[in-house]
Each structure stands twice: as C-alpha cells, then as structure tokens.
Amino acid sequence: MSLQILVLTVLDGIAYGSLVFLVAVGLTLVFGVMRILNVAHGSFYALGAYAAASLGLVLSAWGISAWFAYPLFIVAAVAVGVSVGGLMERFILRRIYVREEYLQLLVTFAIFMILDNVQRLVWGVQPYFYTEPLSLMGNVTIVGIPYTAYQIIFLPLVALFILFGLRWFLRKTLAGSLIVAVTEDREAATAIGINARKVFFLTFIIGTTLASLGGALDSPTTSVLPGMGADMIVLSFAVAATAGLGQIGGAAIAALLIGLGRSSAVFFMPELEVVVPYLIMVIVLLFRPEGLFGKTTARKI
C-alpha cells in the first residue's frame, strides 16, 4: 500500500509538473533574454486553451477525427502566440525597453487585464471543454490505478521535447545563438551588429507561443473558463523564481519539485495543497535569493 502511494505521488507530481513547466518555460525564457516579467503570460495560456477548444469543437462538429486535434493544437498555439504576442511586442513592449523593470511589469499587467476582458467578450463565460484527444489515447494502468495516457505519458514527453528542443535551439542554431548572445551581454552583442530588436521580437513570440501551447495542451484535461490565466501566472512565477529567473533547465526541475510537493500534500497533508508552490518558493528564496540555479548578478559600482 505505502509503495503504491509513493508511486502514485511521483506519477501525479510528474503529470502536474510537466504541465506547469510547459507554461512556465516561456515566462522564464522571456525574462532571461528581455528582463521582462510578463504578467500577461497567463492570458496567453488562457487564449491558447480557448483557441484549441474552439478549434476542437469545430472538428467535432464537422465529424473529423480527433487525431487531427494534435497538429491543430500546435497551429492554434502558434497562431495565438505569433499574432497577439507579436502585436504586443511590436506596438507596446518596444516602447518600454528603456524603462525600469517595474514599469515593464505594470504594462504587462495592464495587458493582462485587457486580454482577460477581451477573452470574455469573444468566448463568453460558459466553460468550454474538448476532451476527445484525451479519450483517444485511453488509459494506462500503473500499480492497479488507471491513469490517462495523455496526462501521464504524452504531456511529460512533450515537456521533455520542449526542454531539449529549446536547449538545442539555443545552442545549435544561428537564431538561438543570437538570443544567447543578447542574453549574455546585450551591449557587446549590439556592438557587433546583432539587431537586438529582432532578437527580442523572436524571443517574445517564442515565449508567448509556448504559453499558448501550454494552454492548448491543457485544454483536453480541464475546463476552459474565465479567470484561468490568473492562477497559472502566479504558479509560473513561483516555478520561475524557484528555479532562478531565466533558467530553462532549472524551471523543469522546479516544476517537478512543485508538482511533487503538491501531490505529496494531496496524499499526506491535503490542507497544505494550495500553499505548497508558494511555500517552496519562499523557502528556496530564503536560502538562495537568486533561485536554485540562478546566477548572482554582478553589482554595479
């Protein structure tokens, strides 16, 4: 029995952690490059979920197989991330790169409020639900307990794919190298002729696309409804801060930590479940203010 409980705790932690990572990774990437904490990140998660659920329902209505939903999720996520994220970067963020951090934070907060409202105007308030992709994959039984293959196999695999894909992209491709260069030393990068503007634009679009991909992938497992972005953003902050802002590999470990913390709470101390992510964040920051994997910033003199 206790071994079973242990296995279940780990599995649930992985399933939840994967999902949180998918959303948080974009936030931390954007911060690493642009030094902007994007509060509207949660809105992109919600928009991605809404877009995916709407497309999925169109599929059902036309009687098309739900297998097409998987590529559609990517299409929906890219469409939302590139269009909304691109417009946001081009017309709003670009004006504030030279401002202080907290002002940038506030601008994204304003956009969060606007997008939240726009969402309601477009999709209304009734929860949306499109579960076919989840049902398609069926269940797997582990230690006698049925799990959905989607949550226990597919999502963690996608998370791993994103993690290693992103690392490969940043290390092995030209665009990725430019991003890294700008992250490491913006001044030097600009001096050798790298167009920081383009790099920022690209980074931001990747970040928002990842957020809406998280939302799209989450949509088969949960109700898509107003206010879903607000909780996710705080959770993503917790993951990013625990790992160290800008740490992509670290975010994966922090997400796993928070996922495991939450599932352990459900199994052993249900009352703590809600507080766990923030408790982990506070405890980590107390001992390592820059996060588990963060680098200390050099002080200017």
Partner 1 sequence: MLMRIVLPVVVLIAIVLPLVTSGWDAFLTLVWAKALPVLGIILLLQAGQVSFGHAMFFATGAYTAGFVIRAIPGGEIVIALAAAIGASVVAGLLVGVFVVRYRYIFFAMFNLAFSMVFFSLLEKFIHITGGSDGLSIPRPEVLGQAMERSEYEFVLYYLALALLVICLYGVHRFLDSPLGHTLKAIKTNETRIEYLGLSPRRVLLIAYIISAFLAGLGGALVAVFQGIATPEYAYWVRSGEFVFVAILGGTGNVFGALAGSFVFEYIRVTATAYVGDTWQLTLGLVLLVIILFAPSGLVGVINDIRGYLKKDPVASGHNKRPAGKTEKQRGEEQ
Partner 2 sequence: MKSVSIAALGLAALLPFQAVAQDKPEEINIGITTFTSGPASVFGVPGQEAARMLAENLNEAGGIQGVPVSLSFIDEGAGAETLTTEYRRLVQDENVDVMFASISSGNCINIAPLAEDLEMLNILWDCGTQRIFEEADYRYNFRTQANATPEMLAPLLYLLKNNPDFETIAVVNQDYAWGRDSWELFSTALKQLKPDVEVVGEFFPSFGASDYSAEISRLLATQPDVILSTSWGGDLDTFVRQANQRGLFNNSQFVLPLVESSLERLGSDLPDGVIVGGRGDHYFLHPEYKDGEELQDFVAQYRERTGDYPIYPAFHMAQAFAALEAAYDKAIEANDGAWPDREQLVDAMEGLEYRGHGRPLTIREDNQAIEAQLIGTTKHVDGYDFPIIDNMMIFDGADLMPPVGENSIEWIETLDESFVEEVSADEYQHEE
Interface residues with partner 2 (CB under 8 A) are 4-5, 8-9, 11-13, 15-16, 19, 116-117, 120, 124-127, 129, 131, 134-135, 139, 145-148, 151, 218, 221-228, 231-232, 262-263, 266-267, 270-271, 273-274
Give the position of tokens 């989607």: 150
Residue 96 makes contact with partner 1 by CB under 8 A? yes
145, 8 in Cβ contact below 8 A? yes
Number of CB atoms found within 10 A of residue 118's CB? 14
> What string marks each residue from 131 to 160 as x (binds partner 1 by CB under 8 A) or -?
------------------------------
Contact with partner 1 (CB under 8 A) among 4, 67, 99, 223: 99
Q: How far is the CB of 120 from partner 2 (least distance, A)?
A: 6
Q: Which is nearer to partner 2, 124 or 289 (CB)?
A: 124
Candidates 250, 163, 251, 197; CA nearest to 33 is: 197
Nearer to partner 1, 142 or 283 (CB): 283
**H or E element that contains 147:** strand 145-148
CB nearer partner 2, residue 175 or residue 266:
266
7 or 253, CB closer to partner 2?
A: 7
Q: Are residues 259 and 280 in contact, defined by beta-carbon separation less than 8 angstroms?
A: no
Out of 224, 238, 239, 257, name the contact with partner 1 by CB under 8 A: 238
**Dihedral angle over CA of 165, 166, 169, 171, nearest 10:** -110
Query: Could you tell which of partner 2, partner 1, none binds residue 234, using a CB distance below 5 to 8 A set by kind?
Result: partner 1
224 three-class SS: strand
In sequence order, what are the beta bridge partners of 146?
Answer: 141
Min. distance of Cβ 226 from partner 2 in angstroms? 6
CB of 141 to partner 2, least distance (A): 10
- Write down the residue that tokens 């700008």 correspond to: 182
**Distance in angstroms (rounded) separating the CA atoms of residues 112 and 230:** 9
Secondary structure of residue 101 in the 3-state scheme: helix
Q: Please, which residues have CB within 8 angstroms of residue 10's CB and are 6 or more apart in sequence?
A: 260, 263
- Partner touching 290 among partner 2, partner 1, none, CB below 5 to 8 Å by kind: partner 1
CA distances from 3 to 6, 7, 63, 131 (A): 5, 6, 44, 31
**Rg of the chain on CA atoms, in Å:** 19
Distance (Å, rounded) from C-alpha 161 to C-alpha 173? 16
Near partner 1 by CB under 8 A: residue from 74, 75, 92, 253 = 92
> 8 is in the binding site of which of partner 2, partner 1, none (Cβ under 5 to 8 A by kind)?
partner 2
Residues engaged in binding partner 1 (CB under 8 A): 35, 37, 39, 92, 95-103, 105-107, 109-114, 116-118, 120-121, 186-187, 189-190, 196-197, 230, 234, 237-238, 241, 245, 271, 274-275, 278-279, 281-282, 285-286, 289-290, 299-301
